[in-house]
A and B are shown apart, each in its own frame.
Chain A
Amino acid sequence: MQRAYNRDGLPELAIGLTMLVFASLTYGTAVLPKRSPAFFAAVFGFAFGCPLSGLLTPRLVKWVRGRYLTDRFGYVRHARNKQRERAVLWFGILSAIVFACTLFLGNHFLKGDRWVLLLAGLVGASIQILIGWRSRVARFAVTGLFWALLGSALSLTNLPLEVAWSVWFAAYGLVELVIGGIVLRGFLVETQTTEGSDGN
């Protein structure tokens, strides 16, 4: 029943676009001349863009959904989900365990700052897989596996950290855009526009 929440793929599209912007900003900090105006713009863009996108993206998704898609799938206000609240608690515990394990493994087996990428991949993967498992949406779990593989693969390369991050953001953004696009297309085909939301 709760699956209807994630039928339109808009969150994935929003995340995908955000990640591509982050990728370009991170790449900018790696290749632009230090102390140049463009470099500072990239640094500030990234620093303020992260919290801003966290605040604005859910609102933007909600607005687009309400403005353009509600007539297709109707309006629903979900009840408080205690299962989800428990899932968040479990996620916190799981993240702490993954963080501790990765820190230990990274310090022992990886060079320099490579463990950061591995950590990001594994923590990100655990978030996605947990959400996918709890909400029974398989594509979240698939994305989680991709995160884990990407983070692990990048941690083994010799790329500078900023460039590795930009590759990480770009690859993740592209995957999210493709998945979101496929889901949105399926949703638009499945539903049809009607004149209103009334039984009479």
Chain B
Amino acid sequence: MATDIQEVGGIDRMIHEPARLMVVALLASVEEADFKYLQQATGLTKGNLSIHLSKLEEAGYIKISKGFRGKFPLTLCRITEEGRRGFEGYRKTMRKALRA
């Protein structure tokens, strides 16, 4: 029991931050989503979401591709394999710790 709790100390802080956790959890359940969808779903401001997406991209957890839909800019995000593994690990750690 103590060991399970102690595992939380080594939890992935890139995912643990609430805003990033929302983004990663959302992207883990879809193929891909654009910036607007993530903003609507998380309730974050544009600037805040943009910063967190950049951090997740730098960590290799998500892939961002920029393009256009018609004349409007389109930012598409999808989770990478590394991001999926990180999120699964986070879920398992938290589940074990909360059950303890």
Which residues of chain A have a CB within 8 Å of any CB of chain B?
1-2, 4, 71, 73-79, 191, 194-200
CB pair B31 A74 closer than 8 Å: no
Q: Mark B35-74, 1 if CB is under 8 A from A, else 0.
A: 1111111000010011001000000000000100100111
Give the Cβ gap from A188 to chain B, nearest Cβ, in Å: 13
CB pair B32 A76 closer than 8 Å: yes
CB pair B33 A74 closer than 8 Å: yes
CB pair A197 B35 closer than 8 Å: yes
Chain A residue with Cβ nearest B69 = A197
Query: Which residues of chain A come closer than 8 Å to B49, judged between CB atoms?
Result: 199
Chain B residue with Cβ nearest A80 = B31
Q: A2-B29, A73-B36 are in contact. List 7 more A-B contacts (CB 8 A).
A: A74-B33, A74-B35, A76-B30, A76-B34, A197-B74, A198-B35, A198-B72
CB pair A197 B73 closer than 8 Å: yes
Q: Give the CA-CA distance A4 to B66 in the complex, in Å.
A: 23
Q: What's the tally of chain B residues with a CB closer than 8 Å to chain A?
A: 26
Query: Which residues of chain B come closer than 8 Å to A71, judged between CB atoms?
Result: 36, 72
Q: Give the CA-CA distance A191 to B43 in the complex, in Å.
A: 11
Give the Cβ gap from B38 to chain A, nearest Cβ, in Å: 7
B21 close to A (CB within 8 Å): no
Q: Which of B36, B53, B73, B76 has the most CB of A within 10 A?
A: B36
Q: Give the CA-CA distance A25 to B69 in the complex, in Å.
A: 41
Q: Which of A2, A73, A195 has the most CB of B within 10 A?
A: A73
CB pair B26 A1 closer than 8 Å: yes
Can you list 11 pairs linking A and B with CB atoms under 8 Å apart?
A: A1-B25, A1-B30, A2-B29, A4-B40, A74-B38, A74-B39, A197-B69, A198-B73, A199-B49, A199-B50, A200-B50
CB pair A77 B30 closer than 8 Å: yes
Give the Cβ gap from B34 to chain A, nearest Cβ, in Å: 4
Query: Which residues of chain B come closer than 8 Å to A79, judged between CB atoms?
Result: 29-31
CB pair B72 A76 closer than 8 Å: no
Known pairs A1-B26, A77-B31, A78-B31; A199 contacts B53 (CB<8 A): yes
